[in-house]
Amino acid sequence: MNKRGWKYQKAVFLILLLLIIIAVFIFYESEKTPMDEDVEDLITEPIGEEPTEPEFVEPEPYVSLLDGLDKESPFSSGESIGRLKIPVINLDMTVIENASASNLNRTLARMISSDLPDGKGNFVISGHRMYQYNSHFNRLDEVEIGDEIVFEDESYRYYYEVESITFVEPSEIWIMLGNNRESMLTLFTCTPIARATHRLVVFSSLKEMISLES
């Protein structure tokens, strides 16, 4: 290589080196985030007021799902506790306390393992499917999601809306387990109608409660 060519190569190398240095500097500057700047500020600026410790907030005590569900029933077995109305199937019947075999032969009855109709828990009413059209829960299978169910006692009228329908086997007692997080009315009867191998279950939620006392 001659002298001129060597000098030329040297110049190209220096220019390239310079370009690389400039590129690195630009890249570093562009990569700097506002966070980096904040950190730099924090490092360079004098420390101001001491940060205050957050106030201690005592956690809410846990309320048991069973809380308030341990009330004794004021009714005796067979005593009328109110009326159940399901307009869509033209049902309007008295509900009595305790769904024993003899009480269920008379009318609809409250499962005493369930809650009272006072706006808390799961109030469960059982009834025979009956072969006679429109008798007891004979037409409960016709009820659909969204239908209105009304329960009325001496003091209040409770409006429920059907939210879910299912079927269970007779030993599945979870259908009558409520908790105080909500207010429900559960109705159940035998299904299929002439076989009764299962229970048809209608779950409804309380929508409104109106006082009847003037």
Which of 9/105 has CB closer to another protein? 105
Distance CA 119, CA 96 (A): 18
Residue ranges in the chain assigned as alpha helix (H): 3-31, 34-44, 101-106
Which of 40/142 has CB closer to another protein? 142
Tell me how far, at minimum, the Cβ of 141 lies from another protein, in Å: 5
- Identify residues 170-209 at the interface with another protein (CB under 8 A): 170-171, 173-174, 177, 179, 181-182, 184, 186, 191-195, 197-198, 200, 203, 205
- Identify residues 89-108 at the interface with another protein (CB under 8 A): 98, 100
By the 8 A CB rule, do 69 and 181 touch?
no
By the 8 A CB rule, do 142 and 202 touch?
no
Distance CA 98, CA 108 (A): 9
Tokens of 111: 């499962």
- Identify residues 21-80 at the interface with another protein (CB under 8 A): 62, 64-67, 69-70
- Identify residues 135-164 at the interface with another protein (CB under 8 A): 141-142, 144, 163-164
* CB hemisphere CA count around 169 (13 angstroms): 1
Tell me how far, at minimum, the Cβ of 154 lies from another protein, in Å: 24
Tell me how far, at minimum, the Cβ of 46 lies from another protein, in Å: 48
